[in-house]
Amino acid sequence: MQDLIEFDEQRKVFHLHNTKISYLFSVEDGNVLSHLYFGKAITKYHGQLRYPRIDRGFSGNLPGSTDRGFSRDTLPQEYSSNGTGDYRIPAVIIQHNNGSYADAFCFKNYKIENGKPQLEGLPQAYVKNPNEAQTLTVTLEDQINQIEVDLLYTIYRNRAVITRAACVKNNSKDSVTLEKVASMQLDFVAKKFDSICLPGAHANERHFDRAKIDYGVKSFESRRGTSSHHMNPFVALVDEKTDEFSGEAYGFNFVYSGNHAFQIEKDQIGQTRIVVGINDYDFSWKLDAGKTFQTPEVLLVYSANGLNEMSQEYHHIIRERVVRSKFKYQERPILVNNWEATYFDFDEEKLKPIVDEAKSLGIEMFVLDDGWFGKRDDDTSSLGDWKVYHKKFPQGLKHFSDYVHEQKLKFGIWFEPEMISIDSDLYRAHLDYLMQVPKRDPSPSRSQFVLDMSRAEVRDNIYTQMVEILDEGIDYVKWDMNRHLSDVYSLGLPPKQQGEVYHRYILGVYELLEKLTQRYPNILFEGCSGGGGRFDAGWAYYMPQSWTSDNTDAIARLTIQYGTSLAYPISTITAHVSAIPNHQTGRKTPLKTRSDVAMSGVFGYELDLTQMTLQEKNDVKEQVAFYKSIRKLVQFGDFYRLKNPTNGNQAAWMFVSSNRDEVMVFVFQILAFAQPEFTKTILVGLDEDRTYQDVVTKEEFTGLELMNLGIYDPVAQEDYTSKIYHFKALK
Ligand code: GLA
């Protein structure tokens, strides 16, 4: 096996490389680590093309050095220290025992090993065998403060992916306070970037947003205690000319579900620094003598061929090496969820006909959503009481789940484990489980409050309650979180350590999830947080799929699913057909369009099947059968975005099987016009010389025709239309 990481002892240069990418950095004067290059693979670095030296006013030099051309303030670095002359955004800020915030981290030693070490208690990309990746650990040290930082770099053999994380170790005799610990930093020279991020709101998540990086600091972050609908923990830096198919793109995908920050600074000489990690907002961490602090990791991707290639790298690494569940390779069941069908107004007798209908339509799973527990008739009570509501299920939950199983459907159930209602037995028994600042009334949100998941006794209580339900033969769990953190405080920590609560909260949630997913390997877990409020790679480690948005309107979903696909694989993106007028937007879209949008992800229904007309039921039956025939391709094929709906009237995307035998193309038109301009959809990713046959019309085309002439889009005299093409290569 060829080594993926080399260290040139003479020139003091590290080179991480595979067939796709190279990443280079060196040890410079004063043992400062300097970034040299991240991009297309180079076979060898001869050591000459180094950062130039020049005396720049007001950018100071190393202590004891007479070289005025070398400054920490301008040097591209790997992990910058605070308070010692680099005025740009630091990667780490530590308050020491003498009150100082200054560090100068210098190269101490390094280690190269096969595989990838486990990051304790955190989600992460993993390896299946040690040969598929190598890991470099570079240890930096501040000798005066006796603090070490390990920088971890893992490069995979066949992917354009590097993972990075950092680990701080306190070797001094005193406690120190970590005020900030980024997972990574990357400095770029001579590049002009746009940023692409995925901002949004509840029911309006992950819009594709592109803007120029200019002087100053730009920050994309969450302060909500979770990764949030509002700013997804993913950012790309792309060349100004980069599009879906050409140009450079650097992706940064943070494997973490708590507060995050992506800080980007364009400095005095036009260089760009990006620092990614746990948000330092309301963060501080007491690091006792001899202790370590491990950061979560970032998945870095480089693409020389535009955004689609970057996304495909993310789709691959998350699907293959972040998701762990046995379901990662399994075709996911088509479900019907009762939320938009009934909301809280249901009981066993009302649900049974929906189950019966689902069975006759070929649907494979029934999901019982919010309202089955405690005394939950609306959203003001019972969170924390995970016992069946006997008014709705007089003979117990098992009686109903048996009924569902007898119809040969799987049975799924909804939980919101991190929350508590004031009107709950849990609250009456344990007032102190509710997270709040002493003497201060906490703020409600959706009439509910947050449990202090940083405390083991709180997690144990919820775990015990959930296990009782899950032991009863549950096939699927939807894990929800319907508010964000406020009034953050833990009775489990002394006053001086309250800055640890946000991070300890998410570590506690991860621990609970680890226990549950290990205990129930046969349960399919679906993430959710008021729709897509926790759609992140950290969550994917525990849950192979996530509810993408509470917005089920087909047209709104075009932009949401388009944006989500930038960083996350289709097998994680769940999408349901719902009723019209749509409950979030009031829009009326054709059933076919709703189904085509939902079929572009992990497919399901979320409406009262019993209320449909005979014609609609027939259509649904066909949709279900059709999706079963294409779902392998959709969920596990190569996905390409073709037309961005964000600023346009169309969306288009396609799926190609790995052997390029089978192809699905989806084209959506939002509004109709009287004198329409003709438009085309040009396909990509096919074999040039093979003949592809349209499964419906039997027309034949070579790959070259489809990828050059393209297909004229249909002209529809109706708003909100869609068209699917299904091609198979002739043998
Ligand atoms: C959230 C979810 C919905 C539904 C409701 C139930 O909003 O995203 O799908 O489960 O909670 O309260």
Assign residue 106 the CATH number of its domain.
2.70.98.60
Whole-angstrom Cα distance, residue 471 to residue 149?
44
Q: Are residues 184 and 297 in the same domain?
A: yes
pTM given for the model: 0.98
CB count within 10 Å of CB 118 equals 9
Give the whole-angstrom CA distance, residue 276 versus residue 220: 10
Assess whether 578 and 621 both reside in one domain.
yes
**Substitution site in 342, 369, 448 for ligand 1 pocket (most atoms within 8 Å of beta carbon):** 369
DSSP 8-state code for residue 377: S
Query: Which atom of ligand 1 is found nearest the CA of 531?
Result: 8
Take residue 496 and report the two structure tokens written for it. 């001086």
Coil, strand or helix at 385: coil
Q: Based on the number of CB atoms within 10 Å of its own CB, is 540 exposed (0-12), middle (13-18) or buried (19 or more)?
A: buried
Task: Tell me how far apart the terminal alpha carbons of the chain are, to the nearest angstrom.
Answer: 36
Residues 250 and 237 sit within 8 Å (Cβ to Cβ) = yes
Residue 243 lies in a domain: yes
CA-to-CA distance for 262 and 184, rounded, in angstroms?
A: 10
Q: Residue 668 C-alpha to ligand 1 middle, in angstroms?
A: 27
Is residue 513, in this structure, part of any structural domain at all?
no
Asked if residue 96 and residue 49 are part of one domain, the reply reads: yes
Instruction: Let me know whether 308 and 346 are in one domain.
Output: no
| Residue whose pair of structure tokens reads 């600023």 in the numeric block | 647
453-506 residue pLDDT tens: 999 999 999 999 999 999 999 999 999 999 999 999 999 999 999 999 999 999
**pLDDT grade, residue 521 (50/70/90)?**
very high
Of all protein residues, whose CA lies closest to atom 12 belonging to ligand 1? 370
Q: Which CATH number fits the domain that encloses residue 591?
A: 3.20.20.70
Going by the DSSP 8-state scheme, the letter that residue 570 receives in this structure is G
Catalytic residue among 73, 480, 596, 638: 480
Quick one: average pLDDT of 642-656? 96
Residue 395 lies in a domain: yes
530 CA to middle of ligand 1, Å? 5
543 and 611 share one domain: yes
Q: Examine the fold and report which residue of 299, 321, 343 is the final residue of a domain before the chain moves on.
A: 321
The answer to whether 219 touches 10, Cβ cutoff 8 Å, is: no
Place of tokens 């059709």: 626
DSSP-derived letter for residue 124 is: -
Ligand 1 binding site (Cβ under 6 Å of any ligand atom): 339, 369-370, 414, 480, 482, 528, 530-531, 547, 550
**Annotated catalytic, 480?**
yes
Q: Are residues 577 and 656 in the same domain?
A: no
Q: Do 651 and 591 share a domain, yes or no?
A: no
195 and 82 within one domain = yes
Question: Residue whose CA is closest, atom 1 of ligand 1?
Answer: 530
Predicted local confidence at residue 647, as pLDDT: 82
- What are the pLDDT digits (tens) for 36-95? 999 999 999 999 999 999 999 999 999 999 999 999 999 999 999 999 999 999 999 999
Residue position matching structure tokens 């996905």: 639
- Report the atom number in ligand 1 closest to the C-alpha of 379: 12
User: Are 346 and 220 in the same domain?
Assistant: no
Looking up tokens 């009031």 gives: 586
Are β-strands 21-27 and 33-40 bridged in parallel, bridged antiparallel, or unpaired? Answer: antiparallel
Nearest to 106 by CA among 68, 74, 144, 136: 144
Q: Are residues 680 and 623 in the same domain?
A: no
Residue 488 lies in a domain: no
Cα distances from 537 to residues 120, 155, 680, 712, in angstroms, run 16, 18, 34, 37
- Which of 292, 321, 350 is at the close of a domain? 321
| Cα–Cα distance measured from residue 716 to residue 713, given in angstroms and rounded to the nearest whole number | 9
**Type of residue numbered 403:** Y
DSSP state of 149: E
| Domain tally, the chain | 3
- Give the amino acid at 466: M
| Mean of pLDDT values over 580-606 | 98
pLDDT in the model for residue 167: 98
Structure tokens at 642: 């073709």
Q: pLDDT-based confidence at 339, cuts 50/70/90?
A: very high
**DSSP string computed for 27-59:** E-GGG-EEEEEEEE--S---S---------TT-
The CATH number given to whatever domain includes residue 710 is: 2.60.40.1180
DSSP H helical segments within 488-601, as ranges?
Answer: 501-519, 537-542, 554-564, 591-598
- Could you tell me if residue 329 is inside a domain? no
In a domain, 499, yes or no: no
Do residues 584 and 723 share a domain? no
Once rounded to an integer, what is the mean pLDDT over residues 124-133?
A: 97
pLDDT at position 325: 87
694 an active-site residue? no
Average pLDDT, whole number, for the chain?
98
Q: What is the C-alpha separation between 456 and 511, in angstroms, rounded? A: 9
Do 127 and 260 fall within a single domain? yes
Residue 441 within a domain: no
Note the Cα 202 to chain centre separation in Å: 16
Beta carbons of 8 and 48 less than 8 angstroms apart:
no
For residue 712, give its domain range: 645-729
Last residue of a domain, one of 290, 321, 352: 321
Looking at residue 350, its amino acid is: K
Instruction: Give CA 188 to chain center in angstroms.
Output: 25
The pLDDT assigned to 123 comes to 98
* Signed CA dihedral, 290, 294, 295, 300: sign only: positive
CA of 564 from ligand 1 middle (Å) equals: 19
The verdict on residue 426 lying in a domain is no
Q: Could you tell me which of 685, 698, 687, 688 has the C-alpha nearest to residue 727?
A: 698
Cis peptide, bond prior to residue 581, ω within 30 of zero: yes
Mutate which of 339, 483, 549 for ligand 1? The one with the most ligand atoms within 8 Å of its CB, which is: 339
pLDDT in tens, 261-317: 999 999 999 999 999 999 999 999 999 999 999 999 999 999 999 999 999 999 999
Q: What is the pLDDT of residue 403?
A: 98
3-state class (DSSP) for residue 680: strand
pLDDT at position 470, please?
A: 98
The per-residue pLDDT for range 187-237, each reduced to its tens digit, is 999 999 999 999 999 999 999 999 999 999 999 999 999 999 999 999 999
Taking the centre of ligand 1 as the mean of its atom positions, its distance from the CA of residue 227, in whole angstroms, is 17
Predicted pLDDT of residue 413: 98
CA 399 to chain CA mean position, Å:
37
